[in-house]
Structure 1
């Protein structure tokens, strides 16, 4: 009997098989006569695995995956239908569920390791993540028997999940301290309904859908809910998010963004759709936080999809890693700065809703911390000048603007120069440090002078400056003076220069500017008012 036949007999026997014999044949070139039985046997071996795991089963899984990507005769993989069946019947987590997750994640990692692999075997679909309680399984593997049961695979498994499911392993989750405590104590949290331990993990959202929908709808109609209702919602949100996060995000998006026709795939491809929500969301700090958590999660999934798509692209222009990285950065920065701009618009539009806007600023701060280059991109794109004071005050990472504000002031157009002056004035007010002082003395004062002169004495070929711009930049001198009172002489000198320019001008609108100039003079020269303003600042 040939070796393939012997292996086929061994694999189909429902009894103990010598580990060394199996490894010997698994590491040999395979043929199609045994690929079917091997797949079925591997599935059964995972289902029958005992704890602590033996090295053999891990090596067997790895060998099976490698043989699945053989360029000659690849072995068949475990069908997704069998995987769905395994998890859909799960009541409690067992070793087989951890091993099957390890198999799926390791298989996908191999598939995405080289674009040639995709042509041999397609990776498992993203939809599997909707039925596999990945976080629950990871928690089980980490804690079972003090971590001893799965020590052979847990570090590798956790690392792969962190790569393939960024949204599940996000160290910067946008949750407050109470939410984090709820997640940390998930296993001992007692929910309002009885029988939670009997609910299959993939059915948790279905089990609590009515209660969750009622809470979300209640917050929309009445944002001033009691603390107990907020806590009930947070406990429920933490529990469902721990078990089936993707389903929770999709459910939340559909409740908060009705009539948008969104799908999970469309939100992954274009996460900004999450912000096309019911405007009453921003009446509630709870809903604002939930919306941003949902947005952040889809942003993370989108990042991985973009990275994966570029890696597997057959476009010759993306053949090298630097080319892929540059394209990935360009795509992500375009997508995510658009989201930031939309959030800034929301902050301005709903500026009276202070608690919700404060949450959005905190979210923007996290985005800037994780992607510092976005700060420069967003400020060169620009946004409402009226919002600059609030962004500098409420986003701590805005101090980074001191590194590039001089570049803004050097831009040839009126908008960027005006934006830069307002930005630097507020930075000086918030960060009255030596670097701010240097920029004011070297760049800002000169820029205010030159822009005013261009307005008063415009010549063809110059970049024009509007009255509205001059009317807005002169008062910034009083803001600067409050930050650096000892600059009173320098600021007064600037104002006197402007006064002379205005007097010698023949423009009719010069009298309006003169009024603003006098008001700024009075603010700086009135000690009583200055003291009050300084104490308020």
Structure 2
């Protein structure tokens, strides 16, 4: 390859030979001895210095090498001058150099005064020629220091620095010797990188730098990296950049094996792109010529290197090189790197066109030609390079040449077609356009041409490549027909592997050619349906596939428009799917379902009178889907291999997704079909019941990386239409695979089991449980398909584990096996289980009817009509409640589906044979559905709550009590889930009511019971119509909730309950008071325990209640009620007197002298102090209240006197209490209610309640 003319003059004959440099770098003295005298001359300073330095290595090999060096130097006269240079006093010289540098710093780089040179009688050149070695060194160092000082000035360089000493070519060798000796001896004062930067500005700078590096080969990388890092981003635009470029190229010629490393440094630093190109071309020229049919090309790795810069992932590198290409086009100098590169690329284009002139392009050259096409696309589309006419013509000739019928040829053709789309300027002229379109028609017409591939290229890869190209053509035509230019652009960009921008104006002619001349829409649809499906389609199959074309045609409804059936193709392709799932298959299913069920106005009008419509795409039949699921859980398990199972799971998941999506879309448009009079196929519920939906979704969940695009939408549809298959427990259950691995035999076989073995193991499970336990361990290790074969036999023995004598471990293992079966075909398992545990009728000749899925869906309460022993067997109860929750969800979904499937259409009579309820609107139907669901679920709640009540059998057996506690915990967890799912159910159940004995259980065991606080005020406000049960239930519930949730909201509701009881006291008759207040007294104690601030209100209410009871007793008692009445009036009078005395005392305090009164502490209570004192003296027991006999005398001597009463009655001291926070003292309250006759049950309960409240009040005072 001819090298470009250098930008600066250099001494080419002085260049260092690569052989000498490599030998010196490796210290290969033998190779040095074989070099010529001219080659050795460049490294003579290094060899002379080596000969003068004593070696540290005293080995024979080193001595031999040293003798060889002496031999090389012997007889050469120039050695004497170099030895003279090496023999001077460098210590003195070093001191003078330091002084010179300091002097130049002080004088601002002025050279009039110098320490190295005192006086010059002649010019530098003559002085250098006539001086001794010492003065020569001083002269050169003076000149070099001047250059180094000037190089540090920040001034633009337009030309090289003139130097009389360094510019003379006749003195080059002598100056180079002095330079090498100075750098070797004064390394610290003269850093080689700074010296190199200074020498760049001289005429022979590149040659001097090469001589330095040649004599100091270990500095090669250091010098190169320094030159690159100090270089410009675009070096051809300045004089210094061109000098740097030439220097680095010369260094790389001296050491060719470092070319790629230096090029890499340029790319990493984003510096000197021209150097990177020149180095690539230099490296290619240094390699062996690549012969291709006697035509030589010298591109080497230039094409992949530049393609990597433009198509790589580093945006900074891509931008840097693109700017270089754009700027390079503005320069018309033929010596630029870009122009040199284009000439080489053009030469390669010519060679490829010549090879394909008379015969197909050789297969070995098709790959290189494809890479060249991609490079031109990148240069034009990314870097913005404008193609010359000659380049465009050769590119079109290369694209339209006959490709080889191989995989590489198909790839070349695909790139060529996309390049015509990306570079429309290639077919700008009419003759060019005609040639391009004729070539495309040839590709479409001559499909058999690519089937003539040789045996070495045939096979699966060739088929895939041929299919990919055909589908790319078809897909491009489809996008043009639908006007999706962005899709065409994406297709072109993905084929070329780069992001380009296609403008509508530039592709308009190509669109017309594709849509009218090459691929009309009728041709596209008829051709697409004949394309064979891709066998074993998965995500690893790359390229453009038939599924891409079918997807686009379905999306544009082209098949429906031209009445082309596509069902069989879609079905075959879904059956041929393999893991990992191809990302387009879920979208294919979606557009296929949409094309079946989505109505268009035209179709609607055409078929309105017919009553049915031929949409053009038949749905996949149930029989065809069953074929795919036929071997899922068949008896012949061993025939299915592992690979077959994986493959079938992918196809089954796709067909399951199709069926669910079909039903989901159909249900949303049922009314539209009725309006249009269209009959649409429906998949029956029995069909879905036979599909292993739960097993498939669990497989997809375990291997989400294989079914990432399908799992989420499939789970959404499943949760909508089959919520019973998406319970939380299902996702939490995991099969223990470790058991299976531990039970496997050394040969890898898995355990097997027969129905007879199951029958024998459960024959006497209560008396001998060991066989059953061993059997269930084996069942847990069996694979799902083998386990399901014996599911019916296993479930038929459900009753055998309900006996009290059966060990708990057997019951737990039975539940684990049941859960594993539940992960396969849960709905069939639930039906078998419900039939196995059904309640046996007393009449043996009348067996219960066999339940089906329809029975359990219509009435989930069938699950609870089972053997009563289930309700005291916790593992069995868990299974029953799980099934109950699942069938409740199925029932809700069934009712919603029924409303969607049978919408109201047309005028509806208010009431008739088919409309007994008189429903006339969808809102009424929805209300009836919600009412039915609420009634159904509330019945379930009431039944399971009653199961928690303790029976006499439970009391007689401690084990039954323990089981009852566990059953209650299981039921509470079940109810909590129901209440959280539907909070309105909580309100309904508590408005209905349930035994109050269960309130402690529900409030403590169900975390969601706090919901009741929202509607309890409404429950308290229920009208009183002869029954106070609701109010009493509400008060009892409030008291338990107050203990469980001591919250501000609970406090408000509790206060409302107390106020409600106070209000009812004045309106209820005597029998009503006994009915509500007597059972409510324990609730008041609980409320006071939870909220001590309500003690005052409760005590006031009880005093009022006591008065009412006393009044009632006086009417029917044997003592003088007037005495009691007068006592009560006196009690009221003393309270008024106490209030007046307190007001007078407060007024008197304000009139006293200004003395700070001592206030008692806030918690001071005289009565409590007295009580405490009595307890310390032993007169009172802990928790006992003071009686009348031990009551302290009143502290106020002016208190009202005690009124004497009859001796038959007890004396009551109504002196004012010191604790004004409660209306009366405990002694007064107790004595008050002792007036009531002993036969008064209400009075006794009220008195007992008072005692408890007083204790709590005193304790509250002490604490707070």
The TM tier, using the shorter chain, reads 0.7 to 0.9
3-state SS of paired residue (1:52): coil
3-state SS of paired residue (2:577): coil
Aligned match for 1:265, one of 830, 845, 854: 854
8 A contact 1:474–1:517 mirrored in 2 = no
Of 429-438 and 262-271, more deviation after overlay is shown by 429-438
Q: Deviations over 1:279-326 (max 9, x none)?
A: 111110111111100000111111212222222332269999877765
Q: 2:1052 aligns to what?
A: 438
Q: CA deviation at 1:65?
A: 2.1
Q: 1:517 aligns to what?
A: 1243
8 A contact 2:1106–2:1243 mirrored in 1 = yes
Partners of 2:995 and 2:1040 in 1: CA distance: 14
Q: Higher helix fraction: Structure 1 or Structure 2?
A: 1
1:154 counterpart = 2:154: no
Q: CA deviation at 1:22?
A: 3.8
Partners of 1:93 and 1:126 in 2: CA distance: 26
Q: Deviations over 1:166-195 (max 9, x none)?
A: 112223x3x8xxxx76x2245665398814
**Alignment CA distance shift 1:474-1:199 (3 Å):** closer
**Alignment CA distance shift 1:117-1:107 (3 Å):** farther
Q: 1:365 aligns to what?
A: 976
1:217 counterpart = 2:799: yes
Of 427-436 and 309-318, more deviation after overlay is shown by 309-318
Partners of 2:1017 and 2:1084 in 1: CA distance: 17
RMSD: 3.9
Q: 1:461 aligns to what?
A: none
**Alignment CA distance shift 1:517-1:407 (3 Å):** farther
1:43 counterpart = 2:656: no
Q: CA deviation at 1:102?
A: 1.7
Q: 1:84 aligns to what?
A: 626
3-state SS of paired residue (1:473): helix
Q: 2:61 aligns to what?
A: none
3-state SS of paired residue (2:618): coil
Q: 2:610 aligns to what?
A: none
Partners of 1:418 and 1:276 in 2: CA distance: 32
8 A contact 1:204–1:243 mirrored in 2 = no
Q: 1:61 aligns to what?
A: 589
Matches within 5 A, 1:225-236: 225-227=807-809, 229-236=810-817
Q: 1:102 aligns to what?
A: 657
Q: 2:880 aligns to what?
A: 291
Q: Please, which runs of 5 or more residues in structure 1 have no aligned partner?
A: 458-463
Aligned match for 1:347, one of 940, 943, 948: 948
3-state SS of paired residue (1:78): coil
Q: 1:482 aligns to what?
A: 1089
Q: 2:889 aligns to what?
A: 300
3-state SS of paired residue (1:424): helix
Q: 1:460 aligns to what?
A: none
Q: Deviations over 1:184-228 (max 9, x none)?
A: 2456653988147998957744423323433x222222375232x
Aligned match for 1:252, one of 829, 833, 842: 833
Of 374-383 and 68-77, more deviation after overlay is shown by 68-77
Of 403-412 and 217-226, more deviation after overlay is shown by 217-226
Q: 1:126 aligns to what?
A: 685
Q: Deviations over 1:263-289 (max 9, x none)?
A: 211211221221112111111011111
Aligned match for 2:1037, one of 423, 433, 443: 423
Partners of 2:1050 and 2:673 in 1: CA distance: 54
* TM-score, with structure 2 as normaliser: 0.37
**Alignment CA distance shift 1:253-1:20 (3 Å):** closer
**Alignment CA distance shift 1:275-1:121 (3 Å):** same
Aligned match for 1:190, one of 735, 740, 765: 740
Partners of 1:4 and 1:261 in 2: CA distance: 58
Q: 2:1072 aligns to what?
A: 465
Partners of 1:512 and 1:31 in 2: CA distance: 97
Q: Deviations over 1:365-386 (max 9, x none)?
A: 1111121121112112222233
**Alignment CA distance shift 1:154-1:512 (3 Å):** farther
8 A contact 1:409–1:420 mirrored in 2 = yes
Q: 2:1062 aligns to what?
A: 449
8 A contact 1:523–1:530 mirrored in 2 = no
Q: CA deviation at 1:138?
A: 2.3
Q: Deviations over 1:506-525 (max 9, x none)?
A: 78799799324323422441
Q: Deviations over 1:65-96 (max 9, x none)?
A: 23332654233222212222321212534221
**Alignment CA distance shift 1:186-1:304 (3 Å):** farther
Partners of 1:221 and 1:400 in 2: CA distance: 39
Q: 1:405 aligns to what?
A: 1016
Q: Deviations over 1:7-32 (max 9, x none)?
A: 49945968888445544654324389
Q: CA deviation at 1:254?
A: 1.2
Q: 2:308 aligns to what?
A: none
Q: Please, which runs of 5 or more residues in structure 2 have no aligned partner?
A: 1-520, 536-544, 604-613, 633-639, 744-749, 753-778, 840-847, 909-918, 955-960, 1118-1235
Aligned match for 1:30, one of 551, 554, 560: 560
Partners of 1:364 and 1:211 in 2: CA distance: 29
**Alignment CA distance shift 1:106-1:499 (3 Å):** same
* TM-score, with structure 1 as normaliser: 0.82
Partners of 1:19 and 1:407 in 2: CA distance: 62
Q: CA deviation at 1:55?
A: 4.6
